[in-house]
């Protein structure tokens, strides 16, 4: 596993939000907890892969909508929701400050303070990840970056201007 060090902080789905999502996710459905027999699901609550035997749930999450509610932005048509894995019970949160899930191609999607997409970048190599975030935040209009999986487009985590 490659360790990526940067001054940018990966932000997991916060524990209070996870508790809400387990009751009713952002599509209005209750979570259906399962035991992850194989492990390997990318958990958005602690930014690590699940371990065999852990209780997890796949829920619908609207990251830009939740950020906009916090900041007063209006994401307009960019508001979207998609599937994310979270622990189905208590979670200790992330263990470290390294950027997670950098081992595969990722898309860094940039957003303005108003909630509009400002562009994106495909990152193909782990060593290009931190420089790509630096490049994104070199633009003073960028307030937020979503890190997404290329193969499914799923939201992995956000990085905010720090």
Please list the alpha-helical segments (H only) found in the chain: 15-23, 63-71, 129-138
Whether residue 94 is contained in a domain is answered as: no
- State the residue for tokens 């470290």: 96
Whether residue 62 is contained in a domain is answered as: yes
Whether residue 30 is contained in a domain is answered as: yes
Structure tokens at 134: 């630096």
Whether residue 60 is contained in a domain is answered as: yes
Whether residue 139 is contained in a domain is answered as: no
* Weakest-pLDDT range from 16-20, 44-48, 83-87, 126-130: 126-130
Whether residue 152 is contained in a domain is answered as: no
The range of the structural domain enclosing residue 37 comes to 12-87
Task: Say if CB 54 and CB 40 are below 8 A apart.
Answer: no
Residue range 68-122, pLDDT digits in tens: 999 999 999 999 999 999 999 989 898 876 788 988 899 999 999 999 999 999 9
Residue range 150-162, pLDDT digits in tens: 988 899 999 998 7
Structurally, how many domains does the chain consist of? Answer: 1
| 142, β-bridge pairs | 112
Whether residue 119 is contained in a domain is answered as: no
Task: Say if CB 59 and CB 81 are below 8 A apart.
Answer: no
Whether residue 157 is contained in a domain is answered as: no
């Amino acid at each position: 596993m490659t360790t990526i060090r940067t001054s940018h902080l990966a932000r997991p789905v916060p524990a209070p939000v996870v508790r809400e999502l387990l009751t009713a996710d952002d599509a209005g459905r209750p979570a259906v907890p399962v035991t992850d027999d194989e492990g390997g699901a990318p958990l958005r609550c602690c930014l690590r892969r699940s371990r065999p035997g852990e209780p997890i749930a796949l829920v619908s999450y609207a990251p830009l909508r939740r950020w906009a509610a916090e900041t007063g932005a209006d994401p307009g048509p960019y508001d979207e929701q998609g599937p994310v894995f979270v622990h189905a019970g208590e979670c200790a949160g992330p263990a470290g400050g390294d950027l997670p899930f950098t081992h595969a191609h990722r898309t860094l999607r940039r957003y303005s303070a108003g909630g509009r997409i400002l562009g994106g970048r495909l990152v193909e190599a782990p060593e290009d990840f931190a420089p790509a975030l630096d490049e994104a935040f070199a633009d003073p209009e960028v307030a937020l970056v979503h890190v997404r999986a290329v193969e499914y487009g799923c939201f992995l985590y956000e990085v905010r201007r720090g």
